[in-house]
Homo-oligomer: A and B are copies of this chain.
Amino acid sequence: VPAAVAEAVAARGRRVVLFGITGWADRAALERYTHYWVRLGQFGRFLRLARAEGCHDVVLIGSLLRPSLWQLRFDWRALRELPRVLRAFRGGDDHLLSGMARLLEDNGFHLLGAQDVAPEILMPSGILGRTMPDAQAQADIARGLALLAATSPFDVGQAAIVANGHVVALEAAEGTDLMLERVVTLRQEGRIQLAPDTGVLIKAPKTQQDLRFDLPALGPKTVEGAAQAKLAGIAVVAGATVVAEIERVRAAADANNLFVVGINPDSRG
């Protein structure tokens, strides 16, 4: 995702400076652009470098696994902001991110979403590839979206797997890939009895989510995972899901006879 956003922004003639978080960001994704490495907690270092580069707009990319406080390497500037950082840490992931957003804005940066600077990375509405969801899959999608709307106020991972009207899996801290692996295991062990090509992975942002960060993401790996779990397809919310490598997603969908559909957000239950 960072490489796709950087490419789209650079294509618009804007200068890109990437700040990789040590231990999180992928080295190869950063190397084509001016870039710096920053440890989590080095807020002062980030401020100094970003100002020296003349940066004004900041885009946060990637969902942050909540780090332990003792993993952070606070610099002096971050320590000065520590009471705010600690307050941000107490709530859910939304709370952590919105705390970081306010911290950036109070320091004169303008926080944008990846979709503001690179709208082409967002999932379009409609089908990607050749396969269409059938009536059962459409009913499963509606049920999954309604379920995710219900769990949304609890700031919990926004993905579920629904098959023939039954909720097979709900995502929390494990993330989408491990949830899909779980379905593979449950099928193998006969704990769920489903015909192949049955069930839908549904992903949706939280209903009140600040769309500037932590949008649900979809990539070729998600499609491969759904194929291994023998699902019929994947449904995400159009315009509110980041699709990394959309052509590879389309190819993986077609290769596995899976549907990948962007649901119009107005049609969410």
Given A147-B154, A151-B151, A156-B147, do A66 and B166 touch, yes or no (CB 8 Å)? yes
A123 at the interface (CB under 8 A from B): no
Given A65-B191, A150-B150, A150-B154, do A169 and B165 touch, yes or no (CB 8 Å)? no
Given B65, B150, B166, which contacts A155 in the complex, CB threshold below 8 Å? B166
Query: Using Cβ atoms and an 8 Å threshold, which residues of chain B touch A161?
Result: 172
Across the interface, do B174 and A191 meet the contact criterion of CB distance under 8 Å? yes
A92: min CB distance to chain B, Å: 6
A174: min CB distance to chain B, Å: 6
Q: How far is the CA of A27 from the CA of B68 in the complex (A)?
A: 48
Q: Count of A residues near B, CB < 8 Å?
A: 39
Query: Using Cβ atoms and an 8 Å threshold, which residues of chain B touch A166?
Result: 66, 92-93, 155, 173
Across the interface, do A193 and B155 meet the contact criterion of CB distance under 8 Å? no
Across the interface, do B167 and A174 meet the contact criterion of CB distance under 8 Å? no
**Interfacial residues of chain A within 141-172, with CB under 8 A of chain B in the complex:** 143, 146-147, 150-151, 153-157, 160-161, 164-172
A-B residue pairs in contact (CB < 8 Å), sample of 17: A66-B166, A66-B193, A68-B193, A90-B165, A91-B165, A147-B151, A147-B154, A150-B154, A151-B151, A154-B167, A155-B167, A160-B172, A170-B172, A173-B186, A174-B182, A175-B191, A182-B182
| A residues adjacent to B (C-beta < 8 A) | 65-68, 71, 90-93, 143, 146-147, 150-151, 153-157, 160-161, 164-175, 178, 182, 186, 191-193
The 9 A-B pairs with the shortest beta carbon distances in the complex, nearest first, are A68-B193, A170-B170, A156-B167, A150-B150, A168-B173, A147-B154, A169-B172, A173-B192, A170-B172
A156-B170, A173-B192 given; name 16 further pairs at CB < 8 Å.
A90-B165, A92-B165, A92-B166, A147-B151, A147-B154, A147-B156, A150-B150, A150-B153, A151-B167, A155-B166, A168-B172, A169-B172, A169-B173, A170-B171, A174-B182, A182-B182
